[in-house]
Structure 1
């Protein structure tokens, strides 16, 4: 439950850093002798709401200009997902916290960032569709960052950068169809010094008639002892200031010759996919 505190609607200006840290600055019009509230970051969709793993608590401290500041340190590792931001007044219960609105969001340091080796933490503050402030978090180790996507006939070529491991002799990319019995299309991957590239033949995704849309996911198998999570490394694009590229990055589709059409796309989690669907009627 969310209740009104009788104060102005809290609004936070955010500055995001390349190491995953975020500062939140709020002007709440408070007296200096008032006890400071705290910010709550709640994991959206968490089963155990209010649990230690579902809520991050950030103490607000006064600045000289009268505003209050909270810092989400880059060393903190909240789970991947979307975290909604709330303000909890002193003495109030967590369920009485008030949703925070987005103010100025400074994301300049997220553009063209080069992450350090090891675990990659990316956090982007963004406005939700209903006007609230949220933070999109990713944690990847290793990570395959997608770059340019180009086309040649029925083939789709993807270039990218691999962080946290290298490519071995058995390196490959797998395009996986959904479902327990989904098909897998394997293609070789090339690269050196962190760069990788592969070409996916889009006309091989269709196996007979396609009657409904299917979303193929793309995974990089490094082929080394440090393959990463079981099943490979998800190919995504997260190292910039775009928190949801699904409707931002739009690619042309290609006919597969089987009465279907294959279109590269990004999911709402910024994972690179290929959508296979029936060819639209003329």
Structure 2
């Protein structure tokens, strides 16, 4: 369980949140009494989207002066950051029980859905949502001589002959062979030297993709099936230095796996 972080707002409502392994969220609040002239609603609003892109969850009595709102896993929540409010006021994060999200295995059918409640830097409750029809979940990374080996599990697409991993930076793309495929489990080794040619004069951020079979559309490799809404400051991998460059895997703000290559002065 994790507690409250950020700036305290004693005037704001506060919600405790429990996540389940299917992707559902339950919000419990104190100080709200359903039954008034207007039934209170817990509102989720997607940041940067059209104002109509909102999801309202009725608050119902839960005993002991508490109210409860439930976001079932069956209710679609578009990918992005969703701010939580009640009656126009932002909601503070209380206790967030996200233990059920660790090492999640999504349903065999349907899109991969992941929702992680989190505290914003200014002390508000928000939900990070991922919703992808096809997904390649990054697993363990191992490091060897001049490169890294990545384990990946594929969801929502059938593996077949000619599967490859791809590193992309702008219009450039490099492919490397993969091994495995049974049960959607793949692994590949990516040499950094290939990504540093020609010698870099600025940072290159290579995106990693999995093409599950020859001619199939590639699937972005990311890690979203756990309790971390932002991996950037949590997963820091060792750098490897080559001829005029340093390279290391890293995650983007969307928890998508990349390899960062920078010049060495």
Judge same fold: TM > 0.5, yes or no: yes
Mapped to 2, the partners of 1:195 and 1:39 lie a distance apart of 39
**TM-superposition CA deviations, 1:81-125 (whole Å, max 9, x none):** 10010112xxxxxxxx01000000000111122111131111000
- SS across alignment from 1:102: strand
Give runs of aligned pairs for residues 68-147 of structure 1, distance below 5 A.
68-88=67-87, 97-118=88-109, 119-147=111-139
How many residues matched? 254
Q: 1:261 to 1:113 in 2, by over 3 A?
A: same
Structure 2 SS opposite 1:193: helix
Corresponding residue to 1:217 among 207, 211, 214: 207
Return structure 1 stretches of 4+ with deviation > 4 angstroms: 31-35
Mapped partners of 2:72, 2:34: distance in 1: 27
Q: Is the Cα–Cα contact under 8 Å of residues 203 and 255 in structure 1 kept in the other structure?
A: no
SS of the equivalent of 1:264 reads strand
Deviation at 1:35, TM superposition (A): 4.3
For the residue of structure 1 that corresponds to 2:193, the secondary structure is helix
User: Greater strand percent: which structure?
Assistant: 2
Distance 1:31 1:145, change over 3 A: closer
Residue of structure 2 equivalent to 1:92:
none
The TM-score normalised by the length of structure 2 is 0.91
Q: Which residue of 1 aligns with 2:257?
A: 272
Quote the RMSD (CA, aligned, Å).
Answer: 1.7
Classify the secondary structure of the residue corresponding to 2:236.
coil
Once residues 29 and 173 of structure 1 are traced to their aligned partners in structure 2, the CA distance between those partners, rounded to angstroms, is 51
Instruction: Evaluate the alpha carbon distance shift between residue 31 and residue 201 of structure 1 in structure 2; reply closer, same or farther with a 3 A threshold.
Output: closer
Q: Is the 8 A contact 2:203 2:263 kept in 1?
A: yes
Mapping of residues 1-282 of structure 1, within 5 Å: 8-28=11-31, 30=33, 35-46=38-49, 48=50, 50-51=51-52, 54-88=53-87, 97-118=88-109, 119-178=111-170, 182-191=171-180, 192-223=182-213, 227=216, 231-257=217-243, 259-279=244-264, 281=265
Unaligned runs of 5+ in 2: 1-9
SS in 1 for 2:100: helix
Indicate the SS of the match to 2:63: coil
**1:186-244 deviations in Å (ceiling 9; x for gaps):** 0011112221100011111012231111210001000168x4xxx41110111111110
